[in-house]
Amino acid sequence: MTTFEGQLNGKDMKVGIVVARFNEFINSKLLSGAIDILTRNSVLEENIDVYWVPGAFEIPFITQKIVESKKYDGLITLGTVIRGATTHYDLVSNEVAKGVAHIGLESDIPVMFGVLTTESIEQAIERAGTKAGNKGADVAQGLIEMISLNKKIGK
């Protein structure tokens, strides 16, 4: 039996990160967490590019364009959608998740979903570096492993 798994070594990896500006006070913390994990695992800062988009709904469009550029070994998407009084939350969170998942399945590189979908602003803050860890960091760690595994399997 042969077992394959990714390694946490980002040496020579080129990473793109798409971040929503809406809820920037949360998303900037997710971004900091992601960059921290990437650089601590040997991804050079000059090999990390960050793309800011207006909101979470715009993430799939730019993510698709970046995948098509073939400049990166993997991508991270970061954003925050917080439930409000209308159905807007359901529409945005579902479409962003579907869009990013579709791109990931059609792409030859890993595309990681780091968009928080929370019931409250407090839950979002907790997931951006307080009680519940930093989901940006979690997604970055996953990306390094997925890029490594993808390279082992062969593009």
DSSP per residue over 71-99, as a string?
--SEEEEEEEEE--SSTHHHHHHHHHHHH
**Residue 63 known to bind ligand:** no
DSSP helix/strand/coil, 32: helix
Separation between Cα atoms, residue 110 and residue 87, nearest integer Å? 30
DSSP helix/strand/coil, 123: helix
**Residue 127 known to bind ligand:** yes
**Residue 111 known to bind ligand:** no
Catalytic residue at 88?
Answer: yes
**Residue 39 known to bind ligand:** no
**Residue 113 known to bind ligand:** yes
Catalytic, out of 65, 88, 98, 152: 88
**Residue 25 known to bind ligand:** no
Q: What amino acid positions are annotated as catalytic residues?
A: 88
Binding-site residues for 5-amino-6-(D-ribitylamino)uracil sit at 22, 56-58, 80-82, 113
Binding-site residues for (2S)-2-hydroxy-3-oxobutyl phosphate sit at 85-86, 127
